[in-house]
Amino acid sequence: MHRILIVGAGFAGATIARLLAENGYKILLIDKRHHIGGNAYDYINSKSERIHKYGPHLFHCNNKDPSLKFLNRFTEWVEYKHKVRAILENGKTTPLPINRTTLEDVFNISLRTEMETINFLSSLRLNKINPKNSDELFLASYGEKISNIFFRPYTEKMWGMNAKELELSIGARLPFRADRNPYYFNDSFQALPKNGYKEIFKNMINHENISISLNTNFQKSMEKDFDHCFLSIPIDQYFNNCFGELPYRSIIFENKEINYTQDAPVINFTDKNVYTRSTQWSLFPNSPNKNQNDNYTITLEKPCSIAQNKGEYYYPVKTKKSRKIYEKYKKKSENLKKITFIGRTGLFMYIDMAPAVNIHIKIANDFIKENCS
């Protein structure tokens, strides 16, 4: 029986572990943290609120998405359509992504139809720009005023650099809506796991061929004891940063109590405030106690450099320079027949949960096919 080491017990590692285990491989799954679930880990606090330790994780995909079919084996779901609002200078909140109501709130106007909304936005856009970076994309999509209110300050504190330095893909995450749709995502399936993400992972790794070891750091000396290793670790660190260090942003999470209810589960601070967003956990439908008393837990997120929060990798910083560095590491890794890099730090990629499952289903299935031939 082939012995496999998988480093990282988040969606990447757990998906591969389960599929390989079901095909007869013997798995050791390790994680440097004290818990399973990676950045999706959640827990119930003393007030019976379900807290996502590393920020809100909202599952969304198409109804026929392979990730949903796979995860349905390990959880029931509670329907939840996510709402986000942003605080304006006057203290009021307005919907994000930007829709007709947002434009009315910002410009103090009334827009009667979708076509009127589209035409108004077109009058704001800098249409002659052919975007080559995130800042130019903001201007071409929304114009100066909207960019200055919602995108430029937020992007700079989130990424620690001017939006002009960031690839287009960073600025392309939010759609525009000409109607009054208040929801953050457009997907046909939007939900939260009924009993939380931790329960999903417990069920995924509950297999006789999977052993788990937490509080365990990966050491290269481990490789000799296994037929193959799947590593959700920073690929640049594995190669001793020989081509340079890949840049990441991290987040410091601060929990506090409030005695009011937010306008939405997540409030974005798009100004120069040090925080990017605030999440009120009692507003999520799978939080056991939604109305405990006048005090609710919120989590504030403060972006920072990886040097300020060592070992906590959240967002790969995608620039032309970092992409070139990563490609060198990727090419070097292809010479390692016993090693496959996975996860956001192994692939230097920010991956939402559904795509993460799909990517690693394919990695697992390709590995199985290659070793059956």
Encoded tokens for 191: 């939900």
The pLDDT of residue 168 is 84
The pLDDT of residue 290 is 64
Q: Give the angle 35-40-43 at the CA atoms, nearest 5°.
A: 60
3-class DSSP assignment, residue 272:
coil
Mean residue pLDDT across the chain: 94
pLDDT tier, 175 (very low <50, low <70, confident <90, very high otherwise): confident
pLDDT digits (tens, 9 = 90+) for 18-70: 999 999 999 999 999 999 999 999 999 998 999 999 999 999 999 999 999 99
Element (H, E) at 144: helix 134-146
The pLDDT of residue 166 is 87
For the chain, residues classed under CATH 3.40.50.720 are 1-36+205-243+317-373
The pLDDT of residue 167 is 84
Distance CA 168, CA 284 (A): 32
The pLDDT of residue 153 is 92
Encoded tokens for 218: 């990966």
Distance CA 356, CA 172 (A): 19
pLDDT tier, 128 (very low <50, low <70, confident <90, very high otherwise): confident
For residue 289, is pLDDT > 90? no
pLDDT digits (tens, 9 = 90+) for 246-258: 999 999 999 999 9
Name the CATH topology of 1-36+205-243+317-373: Rossmann fold (3.40.50)
Distance CA 250, CA 306 (A): 5
User: What is the mean pLDDT of the segment spanning 326-355?
Assistant: 96
- Tell me how crowded residue 283 is: count the other CB atoms within 10 A of its CB: 19
For the entire predicted model, the pTM comes to: 0.94
pLDDT digits (tens, 9 = 90+) for 76-127: 999 999 999 999 999 999 999 999 999 999 999 999 999 999 999 999 999 8
The pLDDT of residue 108 is 96
DSSP label at residue 78: E
The pLDDT of residue 251 is 97
Burial 340-361 (b: 16+ CB within 10 A, else e): bbbbbbbbbebbbbbebbbbbb
Element (H, E) at 86: strand 84-87
The pLDDT of residue 368 is 95
Distance CA 136, CA 120 (A): 19
The pLDDT of residue 325 is 98
For residue 131, is pLDDT > 70? yes
For residue 373, is pLDDT > 60? no
- Tell me how crowded residue 220 is: count the other CB atoms within 10 A of its CB: 10
CA 267 to chain centre: 17
User: What is the mean pLDDT of the segment spanning 187-208?
Assistant: 98
The pLDDT of residue 172 is 72
Residue type, 95: P
Q: Tell me the percentage of the chain whose pLDDT exceeds 70.
A: 98
Q: Which residues contact 167 (CB under 8 A, 6 or more apart)?
A: 133, 134, 318, 319, 320, 323
